[in-house]
Chains A and B, each alone.
Chain A
Amino acid sequence: MSLLALEGVTRRFGAVAALDNLSLEIGAGEFFALLGGSGSGKSTLLRVVAGFEPPDAGRVLLRGADITRDPPPARDVAMMFQSYALFPHLSVADNIAYGLRRAGEGRAAIAARVAELVALVGLAGMEARRPRQLSGGQQQRVALARALARRPSLILLDEPLGALDSGLRERTGLELRALQRRLGASFVMVTHDQAEALALADRVAVLEQGRIAQVAAPRELYERPATRSIARFLGAANVIEAGTLPLRAETPAPAYALRPERIRRVDHPPEANGVTARVADLAFRGGDAVLLAQVEGGPLLRVILPAGAPLPEPGASLHLAWDAAALAPLAA
């Protein structure tokens, strides 16, 4: 039995369906990411699970029990809010203890649990501070500890890394995943950052216009995007319509996704799965370089040249090639 199941959930705002007959199952102990652009419905989905948005249709099941009509306080889920929503008038310890107090636990039990959580997220010694006296990363950890305090079945994380400086994001994300693994907790994370979703999650659902476009493990999602839009969204793949280039694919399809890093420079023009193109633009990015190559009478290809590769002159003509396995067939 899955931990969380959504069955045909629909949520409309006026004429717009933020969630459109959406079904999804998430297992216990899973780190699940909901990935999508703004307006894709990913935050609404999180709020439906937390109980802040009543669905217009469909059911929400937690461990098989229907919680669709339960108010937020009654749900065994905890949310880590975007920009954390820490109570500014309460200390770190009181923020973490908030949910425990509502549950009516005893003083000693609360104190012990708070001490445990403070140690878990590495904030020992800061219990008396107010949120505004903490750095962004420390606030993030208080928010996580607060959500974990009552040992909910499911933790919902709304853009957990979004408010952090880019330098801190990667490390905090890895810590988040390590903690999740160690506790065996179930995480559902909303993010618009594809790298974040791919790096942290066990499975990723891509949302488009209130519907799930694809659910897959990160590697599969990246290598085998189901649709043109997912291909463009994830890693900015080249979408090549069948017939516009000399292709020899493993599976016939109306179009293929071709990762920019799977295209390589070759010395001689290949017969198939390759083209001759002109350098339209070139940008050095430190580790690698992005090349925009214009195929005469064909598409503009995005190519990533590996570190150390010699860079062509703008306007120069060059030969490009790829393997048949690099062509991921697209359904739509």
Chain B
Amino acid sequence: MTRGLAWLALLGLVATPLAIVIGMGFGTPDSGVPPVIPPIGRDGWQGSLEAWGLIFEDSFYLDTFLRSLRLASVTAALCLVLGFAMAMGIASAPPGRQPLLLALVLLPFWTGFVLRLTAWVGLLRDNGWINGVLMQLGVIAEPLPLLYSDGALLLGMVHSYLPFAVLPLTAALAKRDLSLEEAAADLGARPATVFATVTLPLAAPAAAAAFLLVFIPAAGEVVIPEMLGAPDSMLIGRAIWGEFFQTRDWPAAAALSTALLALLLVPIALYQRLSVAK
């Protein structure tokens, strides 16, 4: 009975929606409500490859995909490096202090995602806090164009996704067998060598999981680019969002989603394998 309920939830709320997305990529835009003619109707197959043609013919979408993957990679790499450093700090704190430090990592996130981004807007915009301080100090005469740039976007991305990296890394590093590192030191390894030859290799699966845990959702991010990024820097999440909400081209949004899923299939499978192996 439990398994029946579980299958029902998974098929109804996960598998079927994903199947519909893939199918809808072969639909045709329409002016009705909903604004789409589904690929299968009363008379059987009535789908088209229009949406997919659009994606493959227009290099705009290819560029968009590449830019998204690049942003996701850079975000994940920065989160991994910073997250690893922070996780090492937390894991080497006294055990009684660790929950408090983890809470300090998580607490800022309960101000709400959107509000946190507005804080960055307030900091970075032309009459914002950073420009104000720099001008008062006389470092600059004119405000720097900080907001709506790739730098601001990356800052917001790393800020938002950092806990995703810190949590699994802390879990892995706090559990590690310290006597292995002591053994390495005892055998003559200097601290940097101990880290490179023992700590890092043993944490590699957790690091890979942390990277993917940031990379996968970051590849489809919508809100952060919308609030902090340059308006002309097109990303795949924004493209799907735009096709759906502005152009109202549902098949295009669905085809782009399917393409994004296909691109993320390998990272997702890799992540699931890593998290099962744990």
Q: Do chains A and B touch in the complex (CB under 8 A)?
A: no
